[in-house]
Amino acid sequence: MSDSDPSTTKRHLVGYVRVSTSDQNNEHQIDSLIKFGVDPRDIFEDKASGKNMARPGWKDCWRDIREKDILVVHSIDRLGRDLVEVVQTVKALHDRGADLKVLTMDLDTRTPTGRLIFAVVAAMAQWERELIVERTRNGLAAARARGKKGGRKPILTDEQVTEALARIQAGENAQTVAAEYGVSRQAIYKRSKNMRKEIEGG
């Protein structure tokens, strides 16, 4: 049984494009969105790294999306820094009553096949998150076994930092999670950075 043709139902298309650095251009992505049917006036763009959360184009795009709209992107990595963030973004999109079309994957969440593909992506994101947590714990254990200690006693334990980061990556508000541990979110990220340096032997 094949998917019904989603193009038979006319819905407003909103496009988003992003390149990582200012010396690149978005023309290829923009051309593919226009070819699909997105009005150039409804395409939002950024020239920023995926790790840079200060993306004004994305913020404007998100404010523009309404129920029944379709967000169109050239590739799925335009939506986030990693799979976890991509999944969070798409879930938030669905909560708003909108859908997603990814041109390079032919992923369309209006169709059963598209929803199945997204479910697989979501499962991979969950696996990725759990793998990161496991590797962090194993690395910390190895660092402690090598006697990598010293400095002033941290406010948070290694286990608390790992747990806090896992909760944040799973979609919980970073500020709320940090408040439960009696620290700022900056403190959590700083401790995480120091932990990684310790694991790497730096």
pLDDT at residue number 192: 78
pTM surpassing 0.85?
A: no
Residues serving a catalytic function are 20
pLDDT at residue number 69: 96
pLDDT at residue number 17: 93
Q: pLDDT averaged over consecutive 10-residue blocks of the chain (202 residues)?
A: 53 90 77 95 83 75 93 88 79 91 89 83 67 66 61 66 78 80 83 67 48
The rounded distance, in Å, linking the Cα atoms of 144 and 142 is 5
The rounded distance, in Å, linking the Cα atoms of 85 and 127 is 13
pLDDT at residue number 165: 80
pLDDT at residue number 168: 80
Name all domains of the chain by residue range, CATH numbers in brackets.
10-110 (3.40.50.1390), 124-199 (no CATH)
Contact call for residues 122 and 87 (beta carbons, < 8 A): yes
The rounded distance, in Å, linking the Cα atoms of 101 and 105 is 9
